[in-house]
Amino acid sequence: MTVATSPGLAHPLGATLRDGGVNFSVHARGAEHLELLLYERADADRPAACLALDARAHRSADYWHVFVAGLAEGQLYAWRAHGPHDPARGLRFDADKVLLDPYGRAVALPPGYRRAAAAAPGRNDAWAPKSVVCDPRRYDWEGDRPLCRPFAQTVIYELHVGGFTRDPSSGVAPPRRGTYAGLVEKIPYLVDLGVTAVELLPVFQFDAQDAPPGLSNHWGYAPLSFFAPHAGYAMQPQAPLAVLDEFRDMVKALHRAGLEVILDVVFNHTTEGGDGGPTLSWRGLADGSYYLQDGAGHYANYSGTGNTLNANRSVVRRMIIDSLHYWVQVMHVDGFRFDLAAVLSRDEDGHPAASPPVLWDIESDPVLAGTKLIAEAWDAAGLYQVGHFVGERWKEWNGQFRDDVRAFVRGDAGQVARVADRLFGSPDLYGARPREPAQSINFVTCHDGFTLNDLVSYDRKHNEANLEGNRDGTDHNLSWNCGVEGPTDDPQVEALRARQVRNLLAITVLSLGTPMLLMGDEVRRSQRGNNNAYCQDNPLSWFDWTLLQRHADLHRFVRGLIRLRFRRESVREDRRLTLSELVQRAHVQLHGVQLNHPDEGHESRSLAVTASSLSGDLLMHFALNAWWEPLDFELPPLPAWAGADGTGWRRIIDTARAAPEDLVEFGTATRVGGTTHRVEPRSVVVLFAAARAG
């Protein structure tokens, strides 16, 4: 293969089509010289052309660049970097290894890809992933734009692209099953459920072989690229340009249905692992630039995966911002949830920084001004920043909400005051600064941990299938099996579990904040007690669509909860009310079984709350009984407009009642009379009173 070259430009990074060819640029600090490798096939054992770059002509500062005439979209390429191997100085060059472009927009995996070959001595051309030249301008978005829905109007559904439709019960036919296109087929289900945003587990190209032997990395927290969509979720995984179109087709279809797309992004580590891990990209180009290391060249491990990106070093900050820009401007996504976001607040020595540059870069970036930003405000090394994550725009996964609501519903002592805070948007965490009510992302389950069904069915984790001796996964589950470990035919145990599931869902969806639901919780999807199913790409993790019929009553309940949430003016309100302003205007009152006497004692397990709509013509009364005996709660007196002249108290939700009486429409709800109302053991009751039936 004969090509004509010229020095090219350092900017932009990556492979850029221009002037009848392609400009290539890559950061490679410390390299002595670089080679650009051009391949005809992903599994070729030798490049069709090997272009040696001379430092005098092709290097500007730490950037190596070359223009190659005649190349077009679809060209496969990679880098080879030559230099010293001196880990103590942040140099791990290996001239045998084929290296992905950190800015590559698409990745071609050879059919025989072998992760191990990138960690073993010798060349690995035939088994290495390659980057692909792309033209992002050629796609027709047909006027599509990110939706920019306010958080106050958002209900998030966390799902796994592959696992959502990979099970045959999905009714999605191959080759669409388990793909971006398969998700598109299920959009009507999401719309009917009532959620407004899907939060996709990682869809950046990841290394599925980053898992115990014989298993597969299912979740995707093993990034191989920060720009390319994962080919394994495409109908044509061996056609990199088609992968780009399939991803964008999915985004466009979701937007047309009114659903936002939030990506779970992993900017805290890469799949290259720790010492002895594979050399696939960053390590072989500029190891000391990309990773946090100690003075001896050993990797810091704040991510729990072997390495940690040096997020506040300029080259990594730029890569993160450029990646976010790309996914917003070119791929049209609506937001990001940052995995282990506390890592991004660590400085170049790994210490927590009061004002981390990369987070302020994201916070203040005009391209990201309308983008949802969600932080998982902790890391694997114990840095926990829930309630005080930097900036004003960031929303936070509220781990305290998860733990306190689980503990209260389980019946633990000493939880009443804590759960009261969670119901009101966690003012103890977010009250110090002006924050909108949606600041807290409220959830009781997510991909990491028990599913909702397993939370009420298992006292301990059962992760033996992960082949790590059941040592992986947290032991702090705050779960309760309701008397029997695992599946049971006991109708009393099963009835109690069903009630507990409804209690947890009702509190999550109706509390102030932004609710998030885990895929399949609405039909009691189970992982058989596995609380760390990251490596289980099999029916254990997939959505079993037969559950939709088996648990149709719960599915109906969740649909009703979401619709009830959107009838509240506090959710429909577009103005940026702060949390304290909303609580004040809603005239929130706390009670115990006696009005205006909340019992926050250690042994108390009951709480009641009264609040009004912002317009003042709707009253809501919530009664929570986590005790194992029934309790009679005093009812607040009604104003004249809601009493004789209005609707009176109507029971909308009672989780102790069998479907369909567990949640009813306002117009058909039972009118509640008297001065007290009995709330059954371990149940939640919600009463409404309105000035008019409509």
Q: What is the DSSP string of 303-333?
A: TSSS--B-TTSHHHHHHHHHHHHHHHHTT--
Q: Which of 223, 262, 219 is nearest to 448 (CA)?
A: 219
Q: Which of 536, 520, 406, 396 is nearest to 467 (CA)?
A: 536
Please name the amino acid found at residue 176. Answer: R
Could you give the domains of the chain?
A: 5-138 (2.60.40.10), 584-690 (2.60.40.1180)
Q: Which residues of 393-425 are buried (b: 16+ CB within 10 A; e: fewer)?
A: ebbbbbbbbbbbbbbbbbeeeebbbbbbbbbbb
Q: What is the DSSP string of 273-293?
A: -STT---SSHHHHHHHHHB-B
Token readout for 34 is 């670089």
Whether 374 contacts 336, CB under 8 Å: yes
Token readout for 333 is 């996504």
588: which residues sit within 8 A by CB, 6+ positions away?
Answer: 424, 609, 610, 611
Distance CA 272, CA 96 (A): 16
Cis amide bond preceding 175, omega within 30: yes
Please name the amino acid found at residue 567. Answer: R
Residue 56's pLDDT is 95
Distance CA 521, CA 29 (A): 47
Token readout for 445 is 């389950």
Strands 676-679 and 631-634 come out as antiparallel
DSSP 8-state assignment for residue 675: S
Please name the amino acid found at residue 426. Answer: S
Distance CA 435, CA 427 (A): 9
Token readout for 410 is 């389980």
391: left (phi over 0), alpha (psi -120 to 50) or beta: left
pLDDT tens string 102-133: 999 999 999 999 999 999 999 999 999 999 99
Residue 572's pLDDT is 60
Residues that are catalytic: 339, 376
Strands, sheet with 589-591, edge to edge from the N-terminal-most edge strand: 589-591, 606-612, 618-625, 683-690, 650-654, 670-671
- Alpha-carbon dihedral 186, 188, 191, 196, rounded to 10 degrees: 40
Token readout for 50 is 């090997």
Token readout for 596 is 């205006």
Distance CA 446, CA 1 (A): 50
Please name the amino acid found at residue 465. Answer: A
Q: Which of 529, 540, 480, 476 is nearest to 504 (CA)?
A: 480
Q: Which residue has the tokens 């920019």?
A: 148
pTM over 0.85: yes
- Bridge partners, residue 518, by sequence: 158
Residue 273's pLDDT is 97
Please name the amino acid found at residue 623. Answer: A
DSSP 8-state assignment for residue 358: H
Q: Please give the radius of gyration of the chain, using alpha carbons only, rounded to the nearest integer.
A: 27
pLDDT tens string 442-476: 999 999 999 999 999 999 999 999 999 999 999 99
Distance CA 242, CA 403 (A): 43
Please name the amino acid found at residue 500. Answer: Q
DSSP H or E stretch at residue 85 = strand 85-86
DSSP H or E stretch at residue 550 = helix 547-550
Whether 628 contacts 639, CB under 8 Å: no
387: which residues sit within 8 A by CB, 6+ positions away?
Answer: 377, 396, 400, 426, 428, 429, 430
Distance CA 507, CA 625 (A): 12
Residue 645's pLDDT is 59
Residue 578's pLDDT is 86
Whether 425 contacts 513, CB under 8 Å: yes
Distance CA 386, CA 403 (A): 13
Distance CA 614, CA 570 (A): 7
Distance CA 558, CA 197 (A): 16
Distance CA 496, CA 494 (A): 5
Whether 47 contacts 163, CB under 8 Å: no
Contacts of range 593-597, beta carbons closer than 8 Å, 24 or more positions apart: 593/631, 593/632, 593/633, 593/634, 594/634, 595/634, 595/635, 595/636
Whether 204 contacts 336, CB under 8 Å: no
Q: Which residue has the tokens 């780009």?
A: 244
Whether 248 contacts 260, CB under 8 Å: no
Distance CA 337, CA 249 (A): 21
Instruction: List the beta strands (DSSP E) in 422-566.
Output: 440-442, 514-518
Handedness of CA 419, 420, 423, 424 (dihedral sign): negative
Q: Which of 205, 209, 202 is nearest to 224 (CA)?
A: 205
Q: Which of 56, 78, 53 is nearest to 66 (CA)?
A: 53
Whether 105 contacts 227, CB under 8 Å: yes
Mean pLDDT of successive 10-residue stretches along the chain, which has 694 residues: 93 96 98 97 97 96 98 98 94 97 98 96 97 95 96 96 98 97 98 98 98 97 98 97 98 98 98 96 97 93 97 98 98 98 96 96 97 97 95 95 98 97 95 88 98 98 97 97 98 98 98 97 98 98 98 98 84 70 88 96 97 86 97 92 76 97 93 94 95 63
Distance CA 690, CA 612 (A): 10
